[in-house]
Structure 1
Amino acid sequence: MLTPELAVDLVTDSLQVVMLLVAVLVVPGMVVGLLVSLFQAATQINEQTLSFLPRLMVTLLVICVSGHWLAETLMDFCVDIFRRAAQLVG
């Protein structure tokens, strides 16, 4: 039977996994965006496409490098959720 404590645990675990996966993808792009913005401010170059391409390349690189780990983390979480669901039913 699903108790409020179990529901809170499920929501907490799912939010932790989502924040971890999103942070791995977003933080490097934010850092590169900040560095490009500092470069643009220092050189007074106001080209919007200059900040887009480096962020895109870094995001794609992060996906290529950590894609296996991201998929493995998500699959482990899904297996854990199915195990918990089986325990709740039986």
Structure 2
Amino acid sequence: MDPQVVLDLYGQGFYLIVIMVAAVMVPSLIVGLIVSIFQAATQINEQTLSFLPRLIVTIFAIMHLGPWLLTTLTDFFNQLFLDIPMLIG
């Protein structure tokens, strides 16, 4: 197997993981920024005020993006599994 093929597969897998993590974490980061701006404007320094909305948004994102995440990961694995004969030979 050519080292370039291995690097391409690694790159595709890494890109897929980055996209999947970003899809879940970006909404949480946006909510965290909004809550931080609210806390700075009102001078409320409550730790649970910043944690709970981010937790809820992250769980909500996982619930709604779960089927897409699973389908994307399964498609990548299936393509990788079907390409094994080409990669070996």
Could you tell me the TM-score, scaled by structure 1's length? 0.93
**Shift, 1:71, TM fit:** 0.3
Q: Partners of 1:81 and 1:7 in 2: how far apart? A: 11
Which runs of 4 or more aligned residues in structure 1 lie more than 2 Å from their structure 2 counterparts after TM superposition?
A: none
Q: Secondary structure at 2:12's aligned position in 1?
A: helix
Matched with 1:30 is 29
Q: Partners of 2:71 and 2:30 in 1: how far apart? A: 25
Matched with 2:7 is 8
Q: Secondary structure at 2:19's aligned position in 1?
A: helix
Q: Partners of 2:4 and 2:13 in 1: how far apart? A: 14
Q: Across the two proteins, how many residue pairs are aligned to each other?
A: 89
Q: Partners of 1:86 and 1:66 in 2: how far apart? A: 32
Give the letter aligned to residue 78 of structure 2.
V
Q: Secondary structure at 2:45's aligned position in 1?
A: coil
Give the letter aligned to residue 33 of structure 1.
G
Could you tell me the TM-score, scaled by structure 2's length? 0.94
| Matches for 1:37-76 after TM superposition, within 5 Å | 37-76=36-75
Q: Partners of 1:3 and 1:33 in 2: how far apart? A: 44
Show structure 1 runs of 5+ residues with no match. Answer: none
Q: Partners of 1:9 and 1:82 in 2: how far apart? A: 15
Percent identity at matched positions? 48
